Amino acid sequence: MANLKSNGYTVYFGNSALLSLNTFLLKMNYSRCFILCDENSLQHCLPHVVIACPQLGNADIIEVESGEINKSMETCTNIWEIFLEQKADKHTLLINLGGGVISDLGGFMASVFKRGIPYIHIPTSLLAMADACLGGKNGIDFMGIKNSLGTISKPEAVFVCPPFLNTLEEHQVLNGWVEVFKMALIADKKMWNALSDISQVGDPSAFIFRSLELKNAIVLKDPLDKAQRKVLNFGHSLGHAIEALVIDAGEEILHGSAVCSGMILESHIAMQKKLITVKEYTEIKTRLRNTFGPMKTIPFSKSQLLEKLGQDKKNKAGSFRFSLLKKIGACAYDVEVNEKQISKALEAYHKA
Ligand SMILES: NC(=O)c1ccc[n+]([C@@H]2O[C@H](COP(=O)([O-])OP(=O)(O)OC[C@H]3O[C@@H](n4cnc5c(N)ncnc54)[C@H](O)[C@@H]3O)[C@@H](O)[C@H]2O)c1
Q: Tens digit of pLDDT per residue, the chain (352 long)?
A: 789 999 999 999 999 999 999 999 999 989 899 999 999 999 999 999 999 999 999 999 999 999 999 999 999 999 999 999 999 999 999 999 999 999 999 999 999 999 999 999 999 999 999 999 999 999 999 998 889 999 999 999 999 999 999 999 999 999 999 999 999 999 999 999 999 999 999 899 999 999 999 999 999 999 999 999 999 999 999 999 999 899 888 888 999 999 999 999 999 999 999 999 999 999 999 999 999 987 677 778 888 999 889 876 666 666 799 999 999 999 999 999 999 999 999 999 988 7
In terms of domains, do 83 and 159 share one? Answer: yes
Q: Are 53 and 18 in contact (CB under 8 A)?
A: yes
**CB count in 10 Å sphere of residue 271:** 23
Residues enclosing ligand 1, CB less than 6 A?
Answer: 38, 40-41, 44-45, 66, 68, 71, 98-102, 104, 124-125, 127-128, 131-132, 135, 137, 147, 164, 167-168, 172, 175, 179, 255
44 CA: nearest ligand 1 atom: 32
What separation in Å is there between the alpha carbon of 119 and the centre of ligand 1?
17
Q: Is 209 among the domain residues?
A: no
Q: Give every CB contact of residue 131 below 8 A, 6+ residues apart in sequence.
A: 100, 176, 179, 180, 183, 211, 212, 215
Helical (H) or strand (E) element with 4: strand 4-5
Mutate to test the pocket of ligand 1, among 6, 66, 247, 323 (most ligand atoms within 8 A of CB): 66
Identify the residue whose C-alpha is closest to ligand 1 atom 4.
132
On whether both 105 and 193 belong to a single domain, the answer is: no
Q: Indicate which residue's Cα is closest to atom 16 of ligand 1.
A: 99
Tell how far the Cα of 314 is from the centroid of ligand 1, in angstroms: 23
Closest CA relative to residue 322, chosen from 303, 307, 341, 304 = 341
Q: Report the CATH number at residue 32.
A: 3.40.50.1970
Verify that 188 and 154 share a domain, yes or no: no
Query: With contact defined as beta carbons under 8 Å apart, do 144 and 195 qualify?
Result: no
What is the number of structural domains in the chain?
A: 2
Asked whether residue 11 is domain-assigned, the answer is yes
pLDDT at 317: 61
For the CA of 146, the closest atom of ligand 1 is 43
Is there a single domain that holds both residue 65 and residue 159?
A: yes
User: Is residue 310 domain-resident?
Assistant: yes
CA of 272 to the centre of ligand 1 (A): 33
Q: Same structural domain for residues 97 and 177?
A: no
**Per the domain annotation, does 210 fall within a domain?**
no
Residues 57 and 177 in one domain: no
- CA-nearest of 240, 339, 349 to 298 is 349
Q: Is residue 290 domain-resident? A: yes
**How many whole angstroms separate alpha carbon 86 and alpha carbon 299?**
45
Q: For a substitution probing ligand 1, which of 255, 257, 313, 323 has the most ligand atoms within 8 Å of its CB?
A: 255
- For ligand 1, mutation pick of 65, 104, 216 (most atoms within 8 Å of CB): 104
Q: What is the atom index within ligand 1 of the atom nearest the CA of 104? A: 1
Instruction: Report how far ligand 1's centroid is from the alpha carbon of 96 (Å).
Output: 11
- Separation of CA 167 and ligand 1 centre (Å): 13
- Please tell me the distance from the alpha carbon of residue 144 to that of residue 247, in angstroms, as a whole number: 8
CA of 179 to the centre of ligand 1 (A): 11
- The pairs formed by 338-341 with CB atoms below 8 angstroms and a separation of 24 or more are 339/302, 339/306, 341/269, 341/272, 341/273
Which atom of ligand 1 lies at the shortest distance from residue 101's CA? 19
* Full domain range(s) for residue 87: 4-167
From 167, 188, 216, the end of a domain falls on: 167
Nearest by Cα to 339 from 259, 269, 264, 245: 269
Is 234 within 8 Å of 263 (Cβ atoms)? yes
Whether the Cβ atoms of residue 177 and residue 126 lie closer than 8 Å to each other: yes
Residue nearest to atom 38 of ligand 1 (CA): 66
- Asked if 282 and 155 sit in the same domain, the reply is no
Specify if 211 maps to a domain: no
Give the closest residue to 213 by CA, choosing from 326, 123, 131, 119.
131
Q: Are both 52 and 112 inside the same structural domain?
A: yes
Q: Is residue 143 part of a domain?
A: yes
**How many C-beta atoms lie closer than 10 Å to residue 227's C-beta?**
11
Question: Do 30 and 161 reside in the same domain of the chain?
Answer: yes
Tell me: do 95 and 230 sit in the same domain. Answer: no
pTM of the prediction?
0.95
In this structure, the answer to whether residues 122 and 184 fall within a common structural domain is no
Residue 212 within a domain: no
| Cβ(105)–Cβ(71) below 8 Å | yes
Q: What are phi and psi of 184, to 5 degrees?
A: -65, -45
| Contacting residues for 81 by C-beta, under 8 A, at least 6 apart | none
CB atoms within 10 A of CB 147: 18
In the listed set 124, 147, 167, which residue is the last one of a domain according to the structure? 167
Cα-atom radius of gyration of the chain, to the nearest Å?
Answer: 20
Taking CB atoms within 8 Å and a gap of at least 24, the contacts of 142-151 are 142/72, 142/73, 144/244, 144/247, 144/248, 145/244, 145/308, 145/311, 146/240, 146/243, 146/244, 147/104, 147/240, 147/313, 148/311, 148/313, 149/73, 149/108, 150/104, 150/108, 151/107, 151/108, 151/111, 151/112
- Give the CATH number for residue 181: 1.20.1090.10
Q: Which residue has a Cα nearest atom 39 of ligand 1?
A: 66
Instruction: Determine the distance separating the centroid of ligand 1 and the alpha carbon of 341, expressed in angstroms.
Output: 31
**Which residue's alpha carbon is nearest to atom 34 within ligand 1?**
168
Do 140 and 177 lie in one domain? The reply is no
Task: Answer for the pair 31, 92: CB distance below 8 angstroms, yes or no.
Answer: yes
Torsion of CA 345, 226, 107, 232, to 10 degrees: 40
Distance CA 180, CA 176 (A): 7
Q: How far apart are CA 266 and CA 322, in angstroms?
A: 8
**Cβ count near 229 (within 10 Å):** 21
Domain boundary residue, one of 142, 167, 192 = 167
